[in-house]
Structure 1
Amino acid sequence: MIDIVDPATRSRMMAGIKCKDTKPEVFLRKALHAQGLRYRLGGCGLPGKPDLVFPSRKAVVFVHGCFWHRYECRYFKWPQSNGAFWKTKLDRNVKRDMCVKAALKQLGWLVFTVWECELRETRFQLPNESIEQLLLELKSIK
């Protein structure tokens, strides 16, 4: 199936997709900061560039978008056009995620993943069960 928009339009659409400071990421950061947890951004030179790094706890958090990381939830839908391209790309993303997680664990880091859909369930408002669970786990690390 061919693309329904011209290449220039598709390029503009794809360029508009943010890779950092996304709504789920900012929401999670604000919620954790409000609970007194301090973190670093940018990955601190770690494999996979985690979204949040807690150096004192030796823990990292990834905030994954359901589409880009192929999380099978109600928000994930296979694209109708250019299926072979998207299957290859998304499979590669999932494989990379597994390798990054293994590398971080090998280095002694705890790895947490928060999915976009878990934050969208409450429309990016507190209370949120996923954030509360993450808070409990992070605060239990000494």
Structure 2
Amino acid sequence: MADVHDSKTRSKNMRAIATRDTAIEQRLARLLTSLGVEFRTQDAALAGRPDFVVDHYRCILFTHGCFWHHHDCHLFKVPATRTEFWMTKIGSNVARDRRDISRLLGEGWRVMVVWECALRGRHRLDDPALETRLEEWLCEGGNYAEIDTRGIHAPQPPVA
């Protein structure tokens, strides 16, 4: 299927996609604030420029867009045009994520990835469910966890 936009319009649309203070980051910030958690955002001194840094618990939280970070969920679709280009780009994002998370874990940080599908869309988790999972992990969780539409789980941390 051909792209519905010409290359100039598509390029303009792609440049307009925000890289910080996105809707999913704003929702996670509201949830952390409602829990009374103090956090910093976008710390460039840390690997991966984490979306949220919770110093009190020595925790890092990333909000990952399901398309850009290749999550196996209903929000990820393989692009119909320039497929090789996009899969290479997304693959490099995934490799960078692995490297950054491995480095942070090696530096003694605890890391959580909150996937976009948990925060928006028809299968998203509601605020009380997200707050409960965030609070459990911040206070008692392990070194690495993810939240998606299935809830919280602790897969093996990615290896760079």
TM-score w.r.t. length of structure 2: 0.80
Pick which of 60-69 and 6-15 moved more: 6-15
Greater fraction of residues in helix: 1
Q: Which has the higher contact order (CA 8 A, sep 6+)?
A: 1
Q: Which runs of 5+ in 1 are unaligned?
A: none
Q: Distance in 2 between matches of 1:108 and 1:117?
A: 28
Residue in structure 2 matched with residue 15 of structure 1 by the alignment: 15
Residue in structure 2 matched with residue 126 of structure 1 by the alignment: 127
Q: Which runs of 5+ in 2 are unaligned?
A: 142-160
Q: Distance in 1 between matches of 2:11 and 2:30?
A: 31
Partners of 2:47 and 2:100 within 8 A in 1: yes
Counterpart of 1:109 in structure 2: which amino acid?
W
Among the aligned pairs, what percent are the same residue? 38
Partners of 1:39 and 1:52 within 8 A in 2: yes
Q: 1:87 to 1:44 in 2, by over 3 A?
A: closer
Partners of 2:79 and 2:86 within 8 A in 1: yes
Q: How many equivalent pairs are there? A: 140
Pick which of 95-104 and 36-45 moved more: 36-45
Shift of 1:36: 0.5
Residue in structure 2 matched with residue 28 of structure 1 by the alignment: 28
Structure 2 residue 75 is matched with structure 1 residue 93: no
Partners of 1:41 and 1:53 within 8 A in 2: yes
Partners of 1:67 and 1:76 within 8 A in 2: yes
SS of structure 2 residue aligned to 1:73: coil
Shift of 1:137: 1.2
TM-score w.r.t. length of structure 1: 0.89
Greater fraction of residues in strand: 2
Q: How does 1:28-67 map to 2 (within 5 A)?
A: 28-67=28-67
RMSD of equivalent CA atoms: 1.9
Partners of 1:70 and 1:90 within 8 A in 2: yes
Q: 1:54 to 1:44 in 2, by over 3 A?
A: farther
